[in-house]
Chain A
């Protein structure tokens, strides 16, 4: 069951048909000229109904988009650095926004510290074709943060251990 505790004010409640659609497509959209018709046949619904539901879910933000998820290593972006920063709490929201606007930052979040073991509260993901490129971008972030930052490190990824995307249980 879905519980509406999302961040958005107008949470979309999935009905059982939406759920079936998600289950039918979470491993992929049919690669045929009429994917909505193919799904409709599977679920016993007209193609128009399927398409309309997809449009509705995308408008509501339940679906970000229907798109390809690349293996970025195989596209040549072999170096992905999760840069993590210890930013003063009174500066984090402002600095987070500025770091997030840098063109080479793909994700940027504030996350909790785990003191005394982990004191980084700002995460900015940086991708590049070499380690030096990622380090150079991290130093640009460092310059931007200035004295609001009390420490940082870069966690390079060395292997993708799993990548399946978000899944619903088939229950």
Chain B
């Protein structure tokens, strides 16, 4: 990750404590008794400081969530990436309609003719087709389904 780290001179200001907590908690919490105390011990901080910093990062939406990250495939569910092409004047109203589906886990606007990209996660693999059909009928626009056919790498970590 050295290329990323180098270029981070323009990162938002974080205190040393925040930096330590941000970097450490993106990797897994140890599954032990008093896990926050274990992390605090690793970082040479008080447990209370770890908990308070974590709560503050969540309140400020620097972290969007702290908890178990589920693997939909391993849970036997369906997972796919899908894209739509939405005219500018309809973008906000279609966004609301698409986001209203609880199966839509992430949704990004992107600079391309296909300007809406979202991840669908369902409890059963067969549900994907049904949800896509429901989104098409709710919005009136086609959905391009792009499920992964091969996974080469997943490693999401943003050092600050």
Contacts and interface: CB of A to CB of B under 8 A. Distances in A.
Contacts of B107: 160-163
Contact of B118 (A26, A114, A117, A162): A162
A131 to B, nearest CB: 10
Contacts of A4: 76
Contacts of B2: 103
A90 interface: no
Contact-residue bracket for chain B = 35 or more
Contacts of B75: 2, 6, 12, 14, 62
A36 B33 contact: yes
A11 B76 contact: yes
A28 interface: yes
B76 A103 contact: no
Nearest to A111: B146
A1 interface: yes
Nearest to B61: A71
B91 to A, nearest CB: 9
Nearest to B152: A100
Contact of B124 (A3, A99, A112, A155): A3
A64 B71 contact: yes
A35 interface: yes
B155 A106 contact: yes
Interface string B6-37: 01101110000000001001111101111111
Contacts of B76: 2-6, 11, 13-14
A96 B12 CA distance: 33
B149 A111 contact: yes
A110 B107 CA distance: 20
A61 to B, nearest CB: 4
A93 B150 contact: yes
Interface of A: 1-8, 11-14, 22, 25-29, 31-36, 47, 51, 54-55, 57-58, 60-72, 74-77, 82, 92-93, 96-97, 99-101, 103-112, 114, 117-118, 123, 127-130, 133, 137, 153, 155-169
